[in-house]
Amino acid sequence: MKIGVIGVPMDLGQKRRGVDMGPTAIRIAMLIERLSALGHDVTDFGNIQGPDRSTARPGNEKLRYLDEVLKVCGSIADKVSLCVSHHMFPLVIGGDQTVSIGTLAGLAPHGTRRGIIWIDAHADFNTEHTTPSGNVHGMALSAILGYGTRKLSYFRRACPKALEENTVIIGCRSIDEKEQELLADSRITVYTMKEVDEIGIGHVIDEAVQIAGKGVNDIHVSFDIDVLDPREAPGTGTPVPGGLTYREAHLVMEDLHEAGKVSSAELVEVNPILDTGNHTAEIAVELLESLMGKKIFRQRK
């Protein structure tokens, strides 16, 4: 596989500093070398540059830093689209979850009939009318699927940028009150940690792949590292207790690889300031290795 790695040191979508260092931490954990060792042809496009909170102005408190976020997302979209044009698998490393708006905007010119598997402790389905914080990273999925202010939902003109009925959220356990109402009225399939506990992560990911892949050839995977339990991955800005274990997360990524329909991905919200010894970035790289085909054991044929 040809893989294009795009780093996005975005920290404008939320309020805790440090997530802009995520791409560097993930590279220090040898992402490029380890994906190359799997036999992939990996091109590192470096980092998308843009404003940070030291210079940017918050603006509307219900859509904090929106204009600056969209400037960066425009650059992400251009680079992602370039990857697809060159038959590369776009792999975006954040940075906060707002980078996914840019990723999907870059995929949209090449088709919007795609599913999404959103692996996250949060639903990220707020709009400016439901958000209690004004953090745009909590609006990423709603914007991608055409909800909320037109600046977000119609970003780069494609609206929606994927199929709502082919969108699946896995692992969420923190959903704002008004966000719950919006999500319940949508066509998104949600597997909270309750469903993971009840039926097991294997059944969850099997069903998720069937739903996301129904009638389409492409699935986009968005993996927020906070879906893991904070005891497993402490280096993230919005930790929520009771998340996936290390092995559950690997099973998800292994099964996604085996499904054969994942054509783009991002991994976000690694915050090395809150980490110990780059542990969370190391886990992030190991999970991406599983998504890209690393196996515990290869049976001889």
pLDDT tens digit string along 227-278? 999 999 999 999 999 999 999 999 999 999 999 999 999 999 999 999 999 9
Asked whether residue 82 is assigned to any structural domain, the reply reads yes
DSSP state of 196: H
Asked whether residue 224 is assigned to any structural domain, the reply reads yes
Asked whether residue 25 is assigned to any structural domain, the reply reads yes
Asked whether residue 300 is assigned to any structural domain, the reply reads no
| pLDDT at res. 20 | 95
Query: Binning pLDDT at 50, 70 and 90, where does residue 56 land?
Result: confident
Structural domain boundaries, residue 227: 2-291
Asked whether residue 297 is assigned to any structural domain, the reply reads no
d(CA 267, CA 256): 14
Assign residue 266 the CATH number of its domain: 3.40.800.10
pLDDT tens for each residue of 160-197: 999 999 999 999 999 999 999 999 999 999 999 999 99
Name the least confident of 42-56, 92-106, 118-132.
42-56
pLDDT above 80 (res 297) = no
Whole-structure pTM value: 0.96
Give the residue from 59, 224, 78 showing the smallest Cα distance to 149. Answer: 59
* Cβ–Cβ under 8 Å, residues 30 and 274: no
Asked whether residue 249 is assigned to any structural domain, the reply reads yes
284 class by beta-carbon count within 10 Å (0-12 exposed, 13-18 middle, 19+ buried): buried
Cβ neighbours of residue 57 closer than 8 Å, sequence gap 6 or more: 65, 68
Asked whether residue 296 is assigned to any structural domain, the reply reads no
Number of domains comprising the chain? 1
Give the residue from 99, 105, 104 showing the smallest Cα distance to 115. Answer: 104
pLDDT above 80 (res 76) = yes
Asked whether residue 142 is assigned to any structural domain, the reply reads yes
In single-letter form, the type of residue at position 243 comes to G
